[in-house]
Structure 1
Amino acid sequence: MKSFFLAAALAAATPLAASESASYVLDPSHSQIVFTYNHLGYSTSYGMFSGFEGQISWDKQTPANSSVTVEFPVRSMLTGWEARFDHFMSGDFFDAADDEKVTFSSTAIEVTGENTANITGDLTLNGVTKPVTLAAKLNQEMDHPMEGKPWAGFDATATLVRSDFGLGAFAPYVSDEVQLMISVEAMQAN
């Protein structure tokens, strides 16, 4: 059952019949994307996106009929240092307008274990759309003890190549590969 939930909650690409699916929304207060990269071989630098929005349509019977979408502003990035944030938003990297978004929309899924799956989707970052695969794991699915309704939590990892999205400044000195660690909670919509 857990693998069906994981497959459904984060999967793919066909239209949904309303009677066959349940809608879940991400809990922005408990969903984060942490990214890391190597800085000149001296250190691993960290950043985070939090407070983002997303929706999951979950078809328990046919997980491939499920989907997930996520969206957040580029300028919601947290780096822990204002000068680093300003540099990321400059012309060296994003040159990001206030309303520029990062989006992810699932396109396929491969269940890899009882609680794991590879989720493929289209990531749009810096105006470039590329396929990305997330190695996802269902942490837990049950009624939330304080909310009294179905709730689920997932972790996922992926590796992005910055230059694929037009963000390759200073590579290879600053690593072109960026590691993503994602943790989300989703609640059944009313």
Structure 2
Amino acid sequence: MFKLPVHRLFHAVCFGASMLLSPLAAHAGDTAADLPAGSYKIDKYHSTLIFRANHLGFSFYSASFADFDAALELDPADPAKASLSVDINAASLHLTATPPDGFRDMLLGPDWLNVSDHPKITYRSTGIELTGATTAVVTGDLTFRGVTRPVELNVRFNGGYPGLAVYDPQARIGFSATGTLKRSDFGMSYGLPPEGSNLGVSDEVEFVIETEFSGPPLKETEGQ
């Protein structure tokens, strides 16, 4: 049997994959006008939610949540009327650095996330302001530790396509989003630096979201 060297086999597989995916690449930059209206569900395999806070003024400590869900109602003809809902399992905290023993349990405890009393973090959009062809500011109510406050997301639409038969027959869209909040607004004041000092963990928390959503199927694949 004829056998290719490993490195040539690898390149052959990559070339074949690129040929298969080339129609996808052609559609990936399609405008929102090509997308169907309807319900879009988060693709958890291609979504991340990372947050970070300043530590002692020396660095930003980063962490993430591993378990969250989101749903988007979208009419591409009128994106300002879209609605977004997000549910985060607060106990799914994932520490990106190697923590000391007991550190994660401390963060899940009453001084920080207080997961036993408030296991879920939610976000419900209340308004969308379009700021450019692919950008918007989403305003919504964040409920965290039993407190609800308005929080803004700066969102960029990265593109999408209406679907590709067989390979990915549902519409797909992608977004990047950033925002900030003050943890003291939600009753989390533990470890705040004294005024005029950096000796603590910052009140301001930054977060970065990368996400994709799957939407309605191609018309020719409905019911299959």
TM-score by length of 1: 0.84
SS where residue 94 of structure 2 aligns?
A: coil
Between the aligned partners of 1:179 and 1:117, the Cα distance in structure 2 is 18
Q: Which has the higher contact order (CA 8 A, sep 6+)?
A: 1
| Structure with the bigger percentage of strand | 1
Identity among equivalent positions (%) equals: 36
Deviation at 1:3, TM superposition (A): 6.7
Contact 1:119 1:133 in 2 (8 A): yes
1:183 to 204, 210, 218: 210
48-57 or 107-116, larger mean C-alpha shift: 48-57
Contact 1:3 1:113 in 2 (8 A): no
| Structure with the bigger percentage of helix | 2
Which amino acid in the other structure matches residue 120 of structure 2?
A: K
138-147 or 65-74, larger mean C-alpha shift: 138-147
4+ runs of 1 displaced by more than 3 Å?
1-5, 143-146
In structure 2, the gaps of 5 or more residues are 1-29, 194-199, 218-224
In structure 1, the gaps of 5 or more residues are 10-19
Between the aligned partners of 2:109 and 2:83, the Cα distance in structure 1 is 34
What is the CA deviation profile of residues 90-147 of structure 1, one whole-angstrom value per residue up to 9, with x for unaligned ones? 1221221287101111100111111100000011111111000000001121145632
Distance change in 2, residues 1:165/1:30 (3 Å) = same
Contact 1:75 1:98 in 2 (8 A): no
Deviation at 1:42, TM superposition (A): 2.4
Q: Does 1:124 align with 2:151?
A: no
Larger gyration radius, structure 1 or structure 2: 2
Counterpart of 1:15 in structure 2 is: none
Counterpart of 1:23 in structure 2 is: 39
Which amino acid in the other structure matches residue 158 of structure 2?
A: N
Counterpart of 2:111 in structure 1 is: 92
SS where residue 29 of structure 1 aligns?
A: helix
Counterpart of 2:177 in structure 1 is: 156
What is the CA deviation profile of residues 141-174 of structure 1, one whole-angstrom value per residue up to 9, with x for unaligned ones? 1145632321011000001101001112111221
* RMSD after superposition: 2.4
